[in-house]
Structure 1
Amino acid sequence: MFYWIMKHIVVGPILLAIFRPWIVGLENVPKDGPVVLASNHLSFIDSIFLPLVVDRQVVFLAKSEYFTGKGLKGWATKVFFQAAGQLPIDRSGGKASEASLETGLRVLGGGGILGIYPEGTRSPDARLYRGRTGVARMVLEAGVPVIPVAMIGTETVMPIGTRLPKVRRIGIIIGEPIDFTRFDGLEGDRFVLRSVTDELVHSLRTLSGQEYVDVYASSVREQRAPQSR
């Protein structure tokens, strides 16, 4: 109920009126049943605007730090992410990755919509980067369709490192569902996982028109971090 109030009465209408997102392909999101929305990731606000334009609740797995901050700012951040329907996960790897997978599978097992970023992190320069295979494993284990989504122009509204967004129009292109049931039972095959991931990222590239770089975005961000100090 809290999520519905924030989306439809409080936050949602205000943000939609200010940023006036244009949307293509909204009809590709099914009215019911489990599905994965796999999006490129240009800005922090991607996780805000995609759920706002979809009629159903979209659950993203957000890093746990957003829910554990101290003081007024920490409380406000936690409330905001809860209102956005996001769930906290530990992204440190190992057993934490397994827990994240299980959390996502529970959302899908309950018939919900799960939002995922195949790149694993925000693009450092608006280009599209190599996908992580975790999204493929989740899709195959859950046996659900995956819908590619391209966020357009969000990096100009709120670039990495900024705290306040600029008022500019953004776009959202929702592609047709992709069925990977031909790989049923092969979620443990790393070659199949890479193939599914690459096919999905190719779909994102087609929708977004981004330049593709065949390395992980996280590696590029780590290399650039010392230069920004």
Structure 2
Amino acid sequence: MWYWLFKYVFIGPLLRVVGRPTIEGAEHIPKTGPVILAGNHLTVADSFFLVLLVRRRITFVAKDEYFTAPGIKGRMQRWFFSSAGQVPIDRSGADAAQSALNTAVSILERGGVWAIYPEGTRSPDGRLYKGKTGVIRVALETGAHVVPIVTSGSEKVNPVGSRMWRFGKVHIKVCEPLDFARYRPLRERQCIVRAATDELMSVLYTSSGQEYVDRYAADVKAAS
């Protein structure tokens, strides 16, 4: 219930005024059944606009810091991210990545929509970075199609490093679904998983117009 109230009553109207969001290619998202939405990641606002514009309920796997802050502020933050379709995952342990993938698999096995940013974190400078292979591992395990999502304009509405939102125009482009079924018989081979991941990132690169960097965004952030 809170998800739909968040979308249509509490936050949705504000997002429409601030971001004037539009979407194209929404027909590429299946109306039923498991599907993975894999997009570029410019800012935190990407997730909120995606939830607003896609008719189906979307679930993200988010870091548990969003859900564990103390006090009234922490409770409000926990409600906000839960209402936006995000579920917490502990990323501090050695098996954190596998735990996140297991959660994603369970979402898809229930016929849901799982959204993920293959770069693993927000772009530090607006460029598109090397994709991590988790999204493809889940796709090959579940057989779910992967729908590339390209968001533009959100970095102007919600600039990185600023707590203040600005008026702008957000656009979401939904690309044609990618079917990686041909890779499933060889899904245990790392080179195959890497090749499929690069195929996905190539679509995001071509559709977004962003400059591509063959490095992980997290490594770039750590080195800065």
Q: Normalising to structure 2: TM-score of the pair? A: 0.97
| Residue 20 (structure 1) aligns with | 20
Q: CA deviation at 1:96?
A: 1.5
Structure 2 letter corresponding to 1:223: A
Structure 1 letter corresponding to 2:199: E
Structure 2 letter corresponding to 1:80: F
1:105 and 2:95 are equivalent in the alignment: no
Within 5 A, what are the aligned runs for 1:10-159? 10-92=10-92, 94-159=94-159
Write the distance in 1 (CA, Å) between the matches of 2:13 and 2:33.
Answer: 26
Write the distance in 1 (CA, Å) between the matches of 2:18 and 2:216.
Answer: 33
Write the distance in 2 (CA, Å) between the matches of 1:124 and 1:156.
Answer: 14
**CA deviation profile, 1:121-169 (whole Å, cap 9, x unmatched):** 0000000000001111111111110000011021122122211211111
Structure 1 letter corresponding to 2:68: T
Write the distance in 1 (CA, Å) between the matches of 2:177 and 2:164.
Answer: 34
| Residue 227 (structure 1) aligns with | none
Write the distance in 1 (CA, Å) between the matches of 2:161 and 2:133.
Answer: 27
| Residue 8 (structure 1) aligns with | 8
**CA deviation profile, 1:86-119 (whole Å, cap 9, x unmatched):** 0101223631111111100010000000000000
Q: Calculate percent identity across the aligned residue pairs.
A: 49
Q: Would you say the 8 A contact 1:90–1:97 is kept in 2?
A: no
Write the distance in 1 (CA, Å) between the matches of 2:92 and 2:207.
Answer: 31
Q: CA deviation at 1:186?
A: 2.6
| Residue 180 (structure 1) aligns with | 180
Write the distance in 2 (CA, Å) between the matches of 1:120 and 1:188.
Answer: 21
| Residue 190 (structure 2) aligns with | 190
Shift >6 Å, 4+ stretches? none
Write the distance in 2 (CA, Å) between the matches of 1:36 and 1:130.
Answer: 18
Q: Would you say the 8 A contact 2:41–2:123 is kept in 1?
A: yes
Q: Would you say the 8 A contact 2:35–2:144 is kept in 1?
A: yes
Structure 2 letter corresponding to 1:132: K
Q: Number of residues paired by the alignment?
A: 224
Write the distance in 1 (CA, Å) between the matches of 2:60 and 2:146.
Answer: 14
Gaps of 5+ in 2: none
Gaps of 5+ in 1: 225-229
Structure 2 letter corresponding to 1:209: G
Q: CA deviation at 1:7?
A: 1.1
Q: Would you say the 8 A contact 1:129–1:216 is kept in 2?
A: yes
Write the distance in 2 (CA, Å) between the matches of 1:166 and 1:186.
Answer: 47
Q: Would you say the 8 A contact 2:120–2:132 is kept in 1?
A: yes
Q: Normalising to structure 1: TM-score of the pair? A: 0.95
Write the distance in 1 (CA, Å) between the matches of 2:26 and 2:17.
Answer: 18
Structure 2 letter corresponding to 1:36: I
- Secondary structure at 1:43's aligned position in 2? coil
